């Protein structure tokens, strides 16, 4: 993936050589709704990316399961790409600090925690 950050002073610079002012964005979180999700599904149309989130109460159950979608985010591809970039940077920082995130549940169940065995285990 190409570097998302051009050299300082060149991003969006108009022809006169003066750097463009960056907009300042502040967040109002008063109406925000927080929910936990351990399930996500991504689908798309030609114009939009659709993210469905839900809670899977039995993530280790074998066979067919029904998961209720509790949140749905619909965004354009530009916003989806910015989200992807932000998530990637966040995951890279986390793994650099705490170690690799194992996605295979079977391997994760047999891995010792970082720094050695858990208390009470040899």
Domain boundaries in the chain? 39-109
DSSP string, 54-109: E--S-TT--S-----EEEEEEEEHHHHHHHHHHHHHHHHHHHHHH------HHHHH
Which DSSP symbol is given to 38? S
The predicted structure's pLDDT at residue 108: 76
**pLDDT greater than 80 at residue 98:** yes
DSSP bridge partners of 72: 52
| Per-residue model confidence as pLDDT tens digits over 15-72 | 666 777 888 989 999 999 899 999 999 999 999 999 999 999 888 788 888 999 999 9
d(CA 76, CA 94): 27
């Amino acid at each position: 993936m190409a570097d998302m950050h051009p050299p300082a002073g060149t991003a969006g610079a108009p022809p006169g050589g003066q750097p463009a002012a960056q907009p300042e964005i502040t967040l109002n979180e008063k109406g925000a709704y927080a929910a936990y999700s351990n399930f996500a599904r991504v689908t798309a149309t030609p114009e939009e990316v659709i993210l469905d989130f839900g809670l899977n109460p039995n993530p280790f159950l074998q066979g067919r399961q029904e998961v209720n979608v509790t949140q749905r985010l619909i965004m354009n591809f530009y916003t989806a790409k910015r989200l992807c970039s932000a998530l990637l940077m966040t995951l890279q920082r986390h793994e650099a600090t705490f170690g690799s995130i194992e996605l295979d549940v079977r391997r994760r169940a047999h891995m010792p925690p970082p720094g050695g065995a858990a208390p009470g285990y040899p």
